[in-house]
Amino acid sequence: MEKYDAFSYEGQYVDTTDSVFKYENSDILKEFYRKDVILFIIGAFLLGRAHILGGLAPFGIALFGFLVSQNRKNIYLAVSVLGGITSTGMDFNIGKYMFGMIIAYSVFYYMKRINYKAHVIGIISSVSILISGSIYIYLNGLYLYDMLMLSFEALVVFVFTYIVYYCVPVLLKRSNRSILSNEEVVCMAIFVAVIISGLSDLFIGSYEIKNMFGILIVILFAYNGGASIGASTGITIGIITSMSSVDAPYIVGIYGFCGLLSGIFKDLGKWASIVGMLLGNIILTFYVNGTTEVFIQHEEMIIAFIMFLFMPKSLLEYTKNFVGSNTTEDSLYSEKIKNIGVKKLKEYSSAFLDLASTYKNIADKERKIDNEEVSRMVDEVAGKVCSDCGMCRSCWQNNFYSMYNGVVESISLLESEGVLKNSKVPEILKKRCIKVELLTQSIRDRFEIWKLNYHWEKKNLENRRLVGEQFEGISEIFNNLAEDMNNNVNFLTHVEDALYVAFDKAQIQVDKINVLEKENKFEIEIQKRTCYGRGQCEEKIIGLVSNVVGKDLVCKKRMCNMGDDKCVFVLEEAHKYRIATGVARVAKDNRWICGDNYSFLDLEDGKHMIALSDGMGSGEKANKESKVTINILEQLMGAGFEKDLAIKTINSILVLKSSDEIFSTMDLSMVDLYTGKVEFVKIGAASSYIKRKNGEVEPIKSTSLPIGILNNVDIETFGYKLDEGDFVIMMSDGISDADKEGWVLDFLKNNKSRNPQDIADKLLDEAIVKYDNEIKDDMTVLVSKMWSPNKCA
């Protein structure tokens, strides 16, 4: 007898059913004899025992036909199938099934093909039983009812072949499978139910084994999959195992209801699922017959519960993989889109990082004057001064090296000392050149041209360095965004479902809800019909949503009447702290334009930025310098730049903005409104102060230069923890320089006000007094107080 390789892969398009075997299960049945012989012998025996309508046993025939089509040696399973049929007392039909299996085996053997499609196997198996049954009926007397029953049995064989076609690969590769398709889940449920029905009329004492295993399967799936899975499994088990029973409707209802209650209580543990199963049986028993006579014996249920309680954890987890694998198509699609987006962002980040490296490498090529340029300068000087001179032949042909070295020495003096004095002109040039003054002046002029070219070349290199830094910053932004998408962002569909229910109960119609969780912080976007200014957002919705999610929420953004009378608003988790800032400032000599500029705003990541910039000098120019600094800072921080990168970018822009020198200080405070942590960044800025609630004052000092002076800015950072009632005081040097060092510290210690605006006003007034009531410099004070909000602000 020939042996064929089962399920070999063919490089051609096939439908979904065939791909299950051709792609994933090639060579599966090669291992059959070593691993799964006992499994399929028992399965074939139980399928042979499973019967419907009192005398039909089509299930074993379908399994036999499928396995023989894949491997001819599986013929021995005919013995198991026939043994199962005989054990039920239907030995009067044994000839029909034996002859049917012989026909099926002969067809598969002589066709000598593998990789049959499911419908081909089904047709061959059903036609085989139809032929053998027709002969059996003909020999025993022809009746129309018998032919109808035979046709129905052949149809069941055809259908069950499809079920076996999906189930056998899953059973053979059970250690490698963790996700089942919808077809496989349904077929496995039916297959297991038919196997269990094969346990009919088998008892341990007075307790039926079929009921024990049926209850075990239902509670197992209910515990792992929930109410819906438990109910559907119970109904499937009930229908198939009670096809030959007059109590079939009641049995189906009991199994389904028990699975439903067991799944509802699954979150409370195994014992709760067991209690749910018992309650389901008791409730329906009283409902159906009004007595304590039960359809499923409590003893049978107790035995099943014991098997469930002592079931190995590995088997529970294995079942859980199958039941919990029903990931929706939408979530799978969203996951794929997210992965594609993360991959693209990573590629963009890598590309910009490569560009940054390229530009930085180019920008590092700072150099001194080289030999080639020296030679070119000597040629130009000689050509301009000496070409028309009568002594040119004597100097440059008879004494070339002496003259060349003399000019080179002059260029070296210019490069090292910056000037070429007549007293320092090399002696060789004084002795031989009759136009020495014209020659040295030409050298000076040519060197100045080189210096000018070098200056602009250096500017160009600085521009390239700036571009490289910007590319590096963009790369970092892309990379951070990819990391956020990949690790920290979750769409909470279960919260969305709970919100839909809550809105429905409150009779508030909403169109769409999106719930995003990032770093354990909620962001909820709600789209609904506009309330036409009735204030539903604050009055009803915020409180309702807060109750559902269990967190205090505030309105982050509102966009009303967004076309078609729609209102879209975003809620976020309420900050633990808020910042209230008081500002006092005055321009030098009480003019209209102040050289100081400031900003304070909330950022997307739950942080609050307070910034103060002091332009060098006073008046319009200083105002322009500090305003550029603050405007760019607001744009970059609002776009998601890290503070260090934003400051470096501002410094580069100021350095390269024009030929004029533009300097300004940078005083930046970043407050985390969730934790209260504050980070100070000071670049050339005056001292800042923290005034604690208990009156203690802490100074924060810096010694760095303002931005816009050097290419590489020195960023000093200081970290502190703020509590409710603490103050942060920032000021320009016009305030701190009003008197000797330490006067501001003394003022803050002695001031008892808790109002930030009052403190700012009084500090500015005190500084003016110390200037003898003259305003000798631009002066700005920012006083920020941390407080806890009570409601949406």
The CA distance from 626 to 598, in Å, is 8
Locate tokens 């501002």: which residue? 650
**Average pLDDT of every residue of the chain:** 79
Mean pLDDT, residues 375-394 taken together: 78
Stated as kind and residue range, the H or E segment containing 609 is strand 607-614
The answer to whether residue 470 scores a pLDDT higher than 80 is: no
pLDDT at 728: 94
DSSP 511-544: EEEEEEEETTEEEEEEEEE--TTS-HIIIIIHHH
Compute the Cα dihedral for 339, 341, 344, 346 and give only its sign.
Answer: negative
Q: Band the pLDDT of 449: cuts 50, 70, 90.
A: confident
pLDDT at 128: 92
Full-model pTM: 0.53
Looking at 64-78, 306-320, 482-496, 727-741, which range is the least confident one? 482-496
Looking at 321-325, 386-390, 473-477, 481-485, which range is the least confident one? 321-325
Q: What amino acid is encoded at 380 in this protein?
A: E
Mean pLDDT, residues 510-533 taken together: 78
Under 8 Å between Cβ of 706 and 616: yes
Tokens of 249: 């409707």
SS (H, E, C) 104-134: HHHHHHHHCCCCCCHHHHHHHHHHHHHHHHH
- pLDDT digit string (tens) for 315-332? 777 777 666 544 445 556
- pLDDT digit string (tens) for 224-254? 878 888 888 888 888 887 775 655 677 888 8
The answer to whether residue 26 scores a pLDDT higher than 50 is: no
pLDDT at 423: 74
pLDDT at 356: 79
With 0-12 CB in 10 A as exposed, 13-18 as middle and 19+ as buried, what is 504?
exposed
Under 8 Å between Cβ of 630 and 674: no
pLDDT at 31: 45
The answer to whether residue 146 scores a pLDDT higher than 70 is: yes
Under 8 Å between Cβ of 218 and 277: yes
Locate tokens 């409707």: which residue? 249
With 0-12 CB in 10 A as exposed, 13-18 as middle and 19+ as buried, what is 267?
exposed
Give the residues across from 196 on adjacent strands: none
Q: Band the pLDDT of 612: cuts 50, 70, 90.
A: very high
Mean pLDDT, residues 476-497 taken together: 75
pLDDT at 10: 35
Mean pLDDT, residues 596-605 taken together: 87
The CA distance from 357 to 406, in Å, is 42
Mean pLDDT, residues 75-91 taken together: 84
pLDDT at 381: 79
The CA distance from 97 to 61, in Å, is 7
pLDDT at 23: 33
Q: Band the pLDDT of 2: cuts 50, 70, 90.
A: very low
Highest mean pLDDT among 153-167, 183-197, 592-606: 153-167
106 vs 318, more confident: 106
The CA distance from 46 to 39, in Å, is 11
pLDDT at 783: 95
pLDDT at 156: 92
- pLDDT digit string (tens) for 701-745? 877 777 655 666 667 788 899 999 999 999 998 898 888 878 999
Report CA 468 to chain centroid distance, whole Å.
29
106-110 long-range contacts (CB < 8 A, ≥24 apart) are 108/65, 108/68, 108/69, 108/72, 109/72
Q: Among residues 171, 301, 186, which one has the least CA distance to residue 232?
A: 186
Under 8 Å between Cβ of 755 and 547: no
pLDDT at 535: 60
The CA distance from 436 to 430, in Å, is 6
Under 8 Å between Cβ of 717 and 773: no
Q: Among residues 472, 477, 468, 469, which one has the least CA distance to residue 345?
A: 477
Under 8 Å between Cβ of 160 and 167: no
Mean pLDDT, residues 563-584 taken together: 82
pLDDT at 780: 92
Phi, psi of 664 (to 5 degrees): -160, 155
Q: Band the pLDDT of 17: cuts 50, 70, 90.
A: very low
The CA distance from 286 to 292, in Å, is 7
The CA distance from 78 to 108, in Å, is 14
Residues 6+ apart with CB under 8 A from 320: 224
Q: Band the pLDDT of 626: cuts 50, 70, 90.
A: confident
Looking at 45-49, 357-361, 673-677, which range is the least confident one? 357-361
Q: How much of the chain, in percent, has pLDDT values that exceed 90?
A: 12
Q: How much of the chain, in percent, has pLDDT values that exceed 70?
A: 83
pLDDT at 176: 58
pLDDT at 4: 34
- pLDDT digit string (tens) for 679-708? 998 888 888 999 998 889 999 987 777 765
The CA distance from 510 to 529, in Å, is 7
Under 8 Å between Cβ of 14 and 22: yes
Looking at 358-367, 559-568, 615-624, 667-676, which range is the least confident one? 358-367
pLDDT at 566: 77
The answer to whether residue 596 scores a pLDDT higher than 80 is: yes
The CA distance from 275 to 280, in Å, is 9
The answer to whether residue 32 scores a pLDDT higher than 50 is: no
Report CA 390 to chain centroid distance, whole Å.
82
